[in-house]
Structure 1
Amino acid sequence: MNSILRVENIETAYGSSQVLFGISLDIKQGETATLLGRNGVGKTTTLRSILGLTPVKRGEVYFRDQRIDPMATDKIARLGIAIVPEGRQIFPNLSVRENLVAFAGNRSKTTDPWTLERVYGLFPRLKERADNLGNQLSGGEQQMLAIGRALMTNPHLLILDEATEGLSPLVREEIWTCLRHLREHGQTILVIDKYVDRLLSLADRHTVIERGRVVWSGSSEQLRAEPDIWHRYVGV
């Protein structure tokens, strides 16, 4: 499989405070990958570096064999990277339908694009609430809307930052089912989440970071065989 995203030894700092120290990861086309670690270890900074929100001091980021770390964030997004951000960040004063169509496009130029009806099929509750404003939705419904909005861009790579944070167990299961469906249909996904036990059955490859450095990477089979790794670096 070809790499869709390659992060090569990036170092990132906020002013004089360095946060990332040579982070590398490689995501193949069609893979579901994770970025794991406790709060404050550099996961969000890694995402910000990939998306051009925080400049990379050293190292390089490639998306579909094109170097993107010098690019502006909006140009990176138009290449086909969509993020479901932590905290959802939907538009509170737009309806569900308006949120979904606001940035709709076919950035991956797929012949079977995500449409409004396909998203409603994935999340029937959004269809029921199509005319409701974003701030009238529950947290779970807002997360479904954030995922649907990202899918409506038809990205090459879908990134989910803290995908199930603050959601009820029932809604979390809906999100896991959604991600499994997307994986089965070939969507390349990068997930940041803390539920390693669920990610083991969902993802192909995992990267664990601690204090801005990669401390472990490997397959689900390998991580399952080393539970001490995820208890040490991810467990609460």
Structure 2
Amino acid sequence: MAVPEPLLRCQAIEAGYDASQVLFGIDLQIQAGEVVSLLGRNGMGKSTTIKTIVGALKPTAGDIQFAGQSLRGLRADAIARLGLAIVPEGRHVFPNLTVREHLLAFADNRNGLRDSWTLERIYATFPRLKERENNLGNQLSGGEQQMLAIGRALSTNPRLLILDEATEGLAPVIREEIWRCLATLKAAGQTILVVDKYVHRLVGLADRHLILERGRIVWQGDSEALNADRSLWARYLTV
């Protein structure tokens, strides 16, 4: 049986900031319905990889294809309209918009997904957002803001959801709620690329993992392989 074309394909991507090169020949693929994690210590190029995928940073070499279309030369807003949504590190909710306004302002189903993320479905996934729907962004706790950031991304009905440090700085009980949400999204068939430092949780969630070291992918494999080889954790993932 032929392997389907990946939803996202990055080929030999190089990128950086001014004269400083950060990424060196990044190759990665994500199939529709997969959950893939991007791992590595701080400063190894994870956020730069994400910025390059979503168009916030232009690659200096290589190509990125999404659903068979090259993203070369496209602006970030055009890339988003193709069906990519990011939950950025730091959440970036609007302080003067209510929860409900956040979720309605960005709502769209331009890709015609059958089981779309409606306001009601987002509230069912995050009941706390329903309780707080009339509160402004700056009246929410950090955990509530993260739920809102994920809900806002889902309201665009993305074909690929990217989460950059989704549980960073959250209380343990809130982190658990985020992990439960991500498991629900996976069960619903949502394609996800996730960056997070809690490797022990990612091995139970993601299908595949890629480890970055100084802007290069130095290992990739499935959860069974990553869980079995703790030397990888010590070598590449612990401080």
- Please give the range of the TM-score, normalised by the shorter of the 2 chains: over 0.9
The Cα RMSD (Å) is 0.8
| One-letter amino acid of the structure 2 residue matched with residue 172 of structure 1 | R
Which residue matches 1:100? 103
Which residue matches 1:49? 52
What's the TM-score once normalised by structure 1's chain length?
0.98
Instruction: Please give the alpha-carbon distance, in whole angstroms, between the structure 2 residues aligned to 1:94 and 1:28.
Output: 35
Which residue matches 1:4? 7
Write out per-residue CA displacement over residues 195-234 of structure 1, whole angstroms, 9 at most, x where no aligned residue. Answer: 0000001000001001101110111111112111122211
Instruction: Please give the alpha-carbon distance, in whole angstroms, between the structure 2 residues aligned to 1:180 and 1:168.
Output: 19
In the TM superposition, what is the alpha-carbon distance from 1:15 to its structure 2 partner? 1.1
1:207 and 2:210 correspond:
yes
What's the TM-score once normalised by structure 2's chain length?
0.97
1:159 and 2:150 correspond:
no
Which residue matches 2:63? 60
Q: Using the aligned pairs only, state the percent identity.
A: 62
1:72 and 2:70 correspond:
no
Instruction: Please give the alpha-carbon distance, in whole angstroms, between the structure 2 residues aligned to 1:232 and 1:11.
Output: 24
Unpaired stretches in structure 1, ≥5 consecutive residues? none
Write out per-residue CA displacement over residues 141-174 of structure 1, whole angstroms, 9 at most, x where no aligned residue. Answer: 0000000000000000000000100001100000
CA contact (8 A) 1:156 1:187 kept: yes
Write out per-residue CA displacement over residues 33-91 of structure 1, whole angstroms, 9 at most, x where no aligned residue. Answer: 01001111111110111111111111110101111132110000000000000000011
Instruction: Please give the alpha-carbon distance, in whole angstroms, between the structure 2 residues aligned to 1:70 and 1:232.
Output: 37
In the TM superposition, what is the alpha-carbon distance from 1:112 to its structure 2 partner? 1.6
Segments of 4+ moved more than 3 angstroms: none
1:137 and 2:140 correspond:
yes
Write out per-residue CA displacement over residues 113-152 of structure 1, whole angstroms, 9 at most, x where no aligned residue. Answer: 1111111100011000000000000000000000000000
Between Structure 1 and Structure 2, how many residues are aligned? 236
Q: Equivalent residues in 2 for 1:76-225 (5 A)? A: 76-225=79-228
Instruction: Please give the alpha-carbon distance, in whole angstroms, between the structure 2 residues aligned to 1:107 and 1:9.
Output: 30
